[in-house]
Amino acid sequence: MATRLKYSSNPNHSFAKKTLDLTINAVNQSPNDIVITNDDSITITLPKDLVLDFDIQITTPSDSGYYVEKGNNPGVYIVKSNPFVPGGVTIKPQAFWEIRFINLGLSDNTGAHNIEVTEVLEQQTNQESIVFNIEKEMEKIIAWLDPKYVGDLQESTLHWQAPKGITAITISGYPNQADVPVPNAPQQGNVKVTMLPGNNGTNQRNYTVNGQLGQKLLQSPPQTLQKNRPVINAMSATLYNTDTSVEGIPIIEIAVNQEVGLTWLTQYSSNVILTGPLTPNALVFKRDINLKISPGLDVIRAYYGFMEQFPAKAEYYLTANGMNQPVTQKVSLIFKNVELLYFKYTDATKKSVKLVTNPPNWIGANPELVDGNKWQCTFYQPGGESTIIYPNGIIDGSESN
């Protein structure tokens, strides 16, 4: 059965005995979300005749939400969803994940090599092979972009390999359509490229690496940098620093005094904006983070003095900006009711009272004197519902009439 994600390598071919960064990409080509949960895994197996050494550094994007661990056998690498992302990592349609093998030394075994992928998603196991070709050095230029897909203001790197004897290297399409010379004409090199906002009305830019070999002009096939719309792959809340919670479990119901960890993962965004109950105080971020928030405190600040309007939930909206229209996702956190532990007179004179709540110091409960000598309290719950309550007893244990 075919894998649910479409796998490829970048690059997919190279001259023999070169050292390069090899990226494995997985793209969601379906119209539906694909979720990689904490129970799922994707195993990448590099063939023994492809590389010189399996002691390889592996990286993933810092905002990816997954990690890589080495398998029991050489050349086996297992991709898993990070536990801090509740429910797993969602890969939106046309979005992708990637892992990168740093400074991978290739062998001199020319020909096609199969990089095997074993995908375990939703208890189904599927396999796919990625073909990587090692070629003898010849009169040609190999070029590739890594990554191939970016958002507004995001960088990619244009790499190339050229044969010995190259005396000049120029790049077409960088940073515009004019040819730009590369100093010292390296046989193997790279330059940074960026997709600017607007980009003259196009979402693509082509780059060609040109090399002078004697009287011959060598050109790589055009490499296309694609600019994509921003996507939000995950947004969730977890309880933060509490003894009674299991960290990493998504929540929708909280006490008014609880701190919450808000986590999100985006792709192709130039920045993200977080808004909550204190809407004018929007926060702008350049990267994905795990942010500690206090929803109850945010709502109290927003509705102080208007407890009858206190909402039953706190909503936080994440907007990812980039190409075309921004995309938005929200998390709603429902407040639990506040518990009244007691409302009593402090002594037999009944001149003063004490009110205790759980969570403590609830701002929606303020005792007051009525008619000069009677105590009562309008007790507000989250959502604005209120009840009038009266003192019941004296703190020393005796009852009042």
* pLDDT computed for residue 366 by the predictor: 87
Give the distance from CA 26 to its chain's centroid: 16
**Tell me, what's the pLDDT at 246?**
39
For residue 163, give the DSSP letter. Answer: -
CB 96 within 8 A of CB 25: yes
Helix (H/G/I), strand (E/B), else coil: 297:
helix
Residues 199 and 262 in one domain: no
pLDDT of 281 reads 63
Residue 397 in any domain: the answer is: no
d(CA 19, CA 147): 18
- Asked whether 255 and 296 are in contact (CB, 8 A), the reply is yes
**Domain boundary pick from 228, 245, 273:** 228
CA distance 225 to 231: 18
**Shared domain check, 163 and 102:** no
The total number of structural domains in the chain stands at: 4
Do 9 and 131 sit in the same domain of this protein? yes
Domain end (from 206, 228, 250): 228
Q: What pLDDT score was predicted for residue 248?
A: 47
pLDDT of residue 34: 87
- Tell whether 278 and 344 lie within a shared domain: no
Is 3 found in the same domain as 78? yes
| Same-domain pairing of 381 and 309 | no
Q: What are phi and psi for residue 245, nearest 5 degrees?
A: -105, 160
Let me know whether 238 and 266 are in one domain: yes
Tell me, what CATH number does 223's domain have? 2.60.40.10
Is 157 part of any domain? yes
pLDDT at 174: 64
Does 282 reside within a domain?
yes
- Do residues 4 and 58 both lie within one domain? yes
Whole-number pLDDT of residue 200: 53
Q: What is the domain range of residue 288?
A: 231-335
CATH code at position 247:
2.60.40
Q: Is residue 395 situated within a structural domain? A: no
Q: Classify 204 as helix, strand or coil.
A: strand
Q: Please identify, among 335, 357, 379, the residue that sits at the C-terminal boundary of a domain.
A: 335
Would residue 394 count as lying in a domain? no
CATH of the domain at 96: 2.60.40.740
Q: Are residues 35 and 101 in the same domain?
A: yes
Those residues of the chain that have pLDDT short of 70 are 1, 62-64, 84-86, 174-178, 197-201, 239-251, 279-281, 397-401
Same domain, 216 and 248: no
Q: Which of 104, 102, 92 is nearest to 30 (CA)?
A: 92
Looking at the domain assignment, is residue 396 inside a domain? no
DSSP assigned state of 394:
B
In whole angstroms, give the CA distance from residue 189 to residue 173: 17
Element of type H or E holding 295: helix 295-302
Who's near 254: CB < 8 A, 6+ residues apart? 239, 260, 295, 296, 333, 334, 335, 336
Task: Based on the fold, state whether residues 174 and 195 are members of the same structural domain.
Answer: yes
Residue 398, in any domain of the structure: no
Closest C-alpha among 181, 222, 227, 233 to residue 201? 227
C-alpha of 105 from chain center: 30
Compute the Cα dihedral for 393, 398, 400, 401 and give only its sign.
positive
Three-state secondary structure string covering 39-104: CCEEEEECCCCCECCCCCEEECCCCCCEEEEECCCCCEEEEEECCCCCCCEEECCCCEEEEEEEEE
31 and 95 fall within a common domain:
yes
How far is the CA of 209 from the CAs of 150, 167, 182, 195, in angstroms? Answer: 20, 13, 10, 18
Pairing mode, strands 223-227 and 204-213: antiparallel
DSSP for residue 301: H
* Token output for 370: 């009525």
Judge whether 97 lies within some domain.
Answer: yes
